[in-house]
Structure 1
Amino acid sequence: MKAIFMLVTFFLMNVYAPEKPVTTVSTVIPICHTPLGSNDMAFLAADPSFQMLHELPAPFHYQGAGEMVSFPTPDGTTASGFLLKSAKKSKKWLLVYQEWWGLNDNIKQESAKLYRDLGDVNVIALDMYDGKVGETREEAGKLMQSASKERLAAITRGAISFVGKDAKIASIGWCFGGMLSLQSAILEQKQMVGCVMYYGTPEKDVEKLKTLNTDVLGIFGSQDQGISPAVVAQFKKDMKTAGKQVTIKMYDAVHGFANPSNPKHDPAATADAYKLSLNYLKKKFS
């Protein structure tokens, strides 16, 4: 009987014992810090004030030349891009990097325009979100936050292999793509001949900037509250410390001013910046 009593007592103590508190881990990305593995603009993407700098793009559907292609990436998967192949066989390649919205029809149109104006240059706009496109600020912000440095680098490395070891490569990008254009130049090293970055976060590691094999054309807006003039000034200083040349063109315009689908699009600044970029790229490919 004593054994039965002890067994019943033990059972009741376990059934009615208070539960231990459950510790939960917050999944909120802190705005002031870049999460481990995230890209250098993830902290901006999480900031509502930065999201509001991007006006919702006007509806647009691209109809023209070009095709989607896929290629393997060093992380064991595949990536894709919008390709405009030169009619004349060419080892010249321009890698185009999307805005934070993704590889949408506006980027395809910009790629086609560059393709026509550059001549015998192959142009490929890389899909850095693996098929996803943001339709709202919130969607674009989440996509940019979730794009890891490792995956972004794998897509770029895959593209470099796709164009070939003998290719002469230049890059151009806007916003998120501006940052990626500079990172692409760092990864391409000896194959890189030119880099254009529109209002993207600059690389802050001077040692990485020292590995650049090209100068950089940086295009920014003085009214940009995300990539501010102070950030641009520091980038210019860091490039000088790295012993590299950078040409900075600052327009009296807002973030994203060069996007034709942006309601705050600045046509005059866009036209001038495009002319500057085109002349720069033509010289690099000559």
Structure 2
Amino acid sequence: MKMRITTILLAIGFVAQAQLKPISYSDGNQKLEGLLASPSKINTQKSGVLILPAWMGIETNARENAVNLAKLGYITFVADIYGVDKRPANAKEAGQLAGYFKTNYADYQKRIQLALDQLIKAGANPDKIAIIGYCFGGSGAIEAARANFKVNGVVSFHGGLSREASRTIEPIKPKVLVLHGADDFYISEAEIKAFQDEMRTAKADWQMVYYADAVHAFTHKDAGSDKSKGTAYNEKAAKRSWQAMLDFFKEIFAE
């Protein structure tokens, strides 16, 4: 009986992973490889979702969410921000790579746009697109809004919100949803206030939802449960934020 259950679980895992198709593209000489999740039954609008992964690159969280969104009918693409030969092996390397793109935000925006092009090429309706991101990817989602990419909205899960004070604030057209851990001490109150002031100045249509007892990376199951480390999984916050994202999609894609 145990062997049968194991076989069934492996089969389910295979089906889920089989939905993910590697897609090669490039940024000049830099080779990139993202993942496409194509639904068996596409929603009538052919809505698409671009996923921007956390600082370790394309990992389990991004893969699982791509598959889950595809099951709901969304054409989904997981972006490769770093490149096929630049996969971080540890947090130190991830910090260096993510730090580069946070500082050189125009390069980050370019990599996001290249991934967005792949999503549309895969069949997503260019007039029905959302960008979501986690941690470092959440910062990228905000950068996509700042760049006024042609998308309906962006969702940042426990992402960074900072912006260099010298940057000009332009009107922001995509709708913005920020899903934030109420106890996330990596994002300072000053950073939050500056972001909210930026959204007001940009006349953005924005929302920010706080989740109790949640710190950074609260959607990541592999983040552990020790809040004192600053990163920890919170099942309730993860489920609530996922539902908030789906409700946001209903709103932005209905218009």
Instruction: Using structure 2 for the length normalisation, give the TM-score.
Output: 0.76
1:183 to 2:143 alignment: yes
Residue 36 of structure 2 aligns to which amino acid in structure 1?
A: L
* Structure 1 residue 107 displacement after superposition: 1.2
Write out aligned runs for 1:1-286 (5 A): 63-73=17-27, 75=28, 77-87=30-40, 88=42, 91-117=46-72, 119=73, 121-131=74-84, 132-147=86-101, 148-162=104-118, 163=120, 167-168=126-127, 169-189=129-149, 191-202=150-161, 204=163, 210-252=170-212, 253-263=214-224, 264-286=232-254
* Structure 1 residue 91 displacement after superposition: 4.3
Distance 2:169 2:138 in 1: 15
8 Å CA contact 2:105–2:143 kept in 1: the answer is: no
CA distance 1:123–1:80, change in 2 (3 Å): same
Bigger relative CO (Cα 8 Å, ≥ 6 apart): 1
**CA deviation profile, 1:102-160 (whole Å, cap 9, x unmatched):** 1112211121112223x2x2100101111343343223212223444344233222223
Distance 2:116 2:65 in 1: 21
Residue 82 of structure 2 aligns to which amino acid in structure 1?
A: Y
* Structure 1 residue 244 displacement after superposition: 1.2
8 Å CA contact 1:203–1:209 kept in 2: the answer is: no
* Structure 1 residue 242 displacement after superposition: 1.6
* Structure 1 residue 257 displacement after superposition: 1.1
Identity %: 23
Distance 1:220 1:106 in 2: 17
**CA deviation profile, 1:191-222 (whole Å, cap 9, x unmatched):** 21011012222253697653422221111122
Residue 126 of structure 2 aligns to which amino acid in structure 1?
A: A
* Structure 1 residue 240 displacement after superposition: 1.1
* Structure 1 residue 90 displacement after superposition: 5.6
Residue 216 of structure 2 aligns to which amino acid in structure 1?
A: H
Question: What SS class does the counterpart of residue 79 from structure 1 fall into?
Answer: strand
Unaligned runs of at least 5 residues, structure 1: 1-60
Greater Rg over alpha carbons, structure: 1
**CA deviation profile, 1:146-180 (whole Å, cap 9, x unmatched):** 44434423322222333159613210001100010
8 Å CA contact 1:97–1:171 kept in 2: the answer is: yes
Instruction: Using structure 1 for the length normalisation, give the TM-score.
Output: 0.69
Residue 17 of structure 2 aligns to which amino acid in structure 1?
A: Q
Distance 1:243 1:188 in 2: 13
Count of residues in correspondence between the two structures: 223
